């Protein structure tokens, strides 16, 4: 069935299939309903955030469809409710209503240890558009879709904001690693860059700025080879480290680099500054989804 959708409430009540004579009419109604849901979300999030400290604020809440693992059929999707709050991405089967509900998420992930990718045409798994993937700290890929292009853009910006705010808050992250059979620690520091130290003595072996990293590669299992440029000689110095949590480290490094780049974007800095002064991230104010009815296309 074309040019049709249905609205499903949290309690399962369904509007039934609503069909329109043209695709334009259908899209107009979808956007109008999404706009109304967005307004409700802003209201709900602001109320909920009054009860949470600054570092636990909600930046995004919304319905998505998750592609089931090992599924090759387009219809093998299930509705999930995602929330970006503080340092975490939460995945629920139903929206959290009480404080206790936040402890019962299906899964939760640390935002700077996961990677989000918006899927372009060549990356799409099936006929669904407006899709994105999330690679977890273990390397698992999860695939999601939303109904409208504006929802995809809102998710992307919200994830960027959540990651930036968390990197800005923690400033540095240290991971245990092995270098030349010795136990070491690698600290990714927002101000200083990369610092490698002996785990036992805490003596610093080497340090490099972010700008000195000229390349890197990994074996997809545990090892990362960094190529740093010596500031004085300009020669390239290779450092190979082994980690037990490779993907978490790779994603963390990416998050810190992305935060560095964001600091150079005047528009992002301005929006982040507004978020700081209001105590509430501005990107959440344009969220399209809420814990009220979700839109579903009829197929």
Backbone φ and ψ for 62, nearest 5 degrees, come out as 180, 160
C-alpha–C-alpha distance, residues 264 and 283, integer Å: 18
C-alpha–C-alpha distance, residues 260 and 66, integer Å: 31
Is 172-245 in the same CATH topology as 4-45+52-168+273-297?
A: yes
Percent above pLDDT 70 for the chain: 86
Q: Is the pLDDT of residue 151 over 80?
A: yes
Average of per-residue pLDDT values in the chain: 86
CATH of 172-245, one of 2.30.29.30, 1.20.1260.10, 1.20.1250.20, 3.20.20.70: 2.30.29.30
- pLDDT 10s digits, 198-249: 999 999 999 999 999 999 999 999 999 999 999 999 999 999 999 999 999 9
Q: How many other C-beta atoms can be found within 10 angstroms of the C-beta atom of residue 268?
A: 17
> Quick one: pLDDT at residue 294?
44
> Quick one: pLDDT at residue 292?
35
pTM of the entire predicted model: 0.84
The first and second tokens of residue 81, run together, are 């409710």
Q: What is the third-level CATH fold of 4-45+52-168+273-297?
A: PH-domain like (2.30.29)
C-alpha–C-alpha distance, residues 125 and 129, integer Å: 9
Cβ proximity of 93 and 105 under 8 Å: no
C-alpha–C-alpha distance, residues 63 and 99, integer Å: 19
The residue ranges of every structural domain in the chain are 4-45+52-168+273-297, 172-245
Strand order in the sheet with 4-8: 18-19, 4-8, 294-297
- pLDDT 10s digits, 177-200: 999 999 999 999 999 999 999 999
Residues with Cβ within 8 Å of 287's Cβ and at least 6 positions away in sequence, in order, are 38, 41, 42, 45, 60, 61, 62, 154, 158
């Amino acid at each position: 069935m074309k040019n049709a959708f249905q609205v499903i409430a949290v309690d399962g009540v369904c509007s039934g299939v609503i069909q329109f004579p043209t695709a334009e009419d259908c899209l107009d109604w979808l956007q109008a309903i999404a706009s109304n849901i967005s307004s409700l979300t802003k209201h709900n999030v602001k109320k909920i955030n009054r009860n949470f400290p600054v570092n636990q604020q909600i930046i995004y809440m919304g319905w998505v469809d998750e592609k089931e693992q090992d599924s090759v059929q387009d219809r093998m999707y299930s509705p999930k409710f995602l929330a970006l709050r503080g340092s975490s991405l939460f995945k629920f089967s139903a929206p959290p209503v009480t404080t206790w509900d936040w402890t019962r998420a299906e899964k939760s992930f640390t935002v700077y240890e996961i990677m989000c990718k918006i899927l372009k045409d060549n990356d799409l798994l099936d006929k669904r558009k407006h899709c994105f993937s999330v690679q977890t700290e273990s390397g698992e890929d999860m695939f999601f879709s939303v109904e409208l292009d504006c929802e995809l853009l809102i998710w992307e910006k919200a994830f960027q904001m959540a990651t930036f705010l968390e990197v800005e808050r923690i400033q540095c992250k240290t991971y245990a690693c092995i270098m030349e059979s010795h136990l070491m620690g690698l600290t990714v520091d927002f101000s200083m860059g990369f610092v490698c130290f002996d785990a036992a003595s805490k003596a610093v072996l080497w340090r490099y700025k972010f700008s000195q990293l000229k390349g890197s590669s990994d074996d997809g299992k545990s090892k990362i080879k960094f190529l740093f440029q010596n500031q004085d000689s300009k020669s390239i110095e290779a450092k190979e480290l082994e980690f037990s949590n490779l993907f978490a480290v790779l994603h963390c490094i990416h998050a810190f680099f992305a935060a560095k780049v964001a600091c150079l974007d005047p528009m992002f800095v301005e929006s982040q500054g507004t978020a700081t002064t209001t105590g509430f991230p501005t990107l959440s104010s344009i969220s399209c989804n809420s814990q009220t009815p979700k839109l579903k296309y009829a197929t």
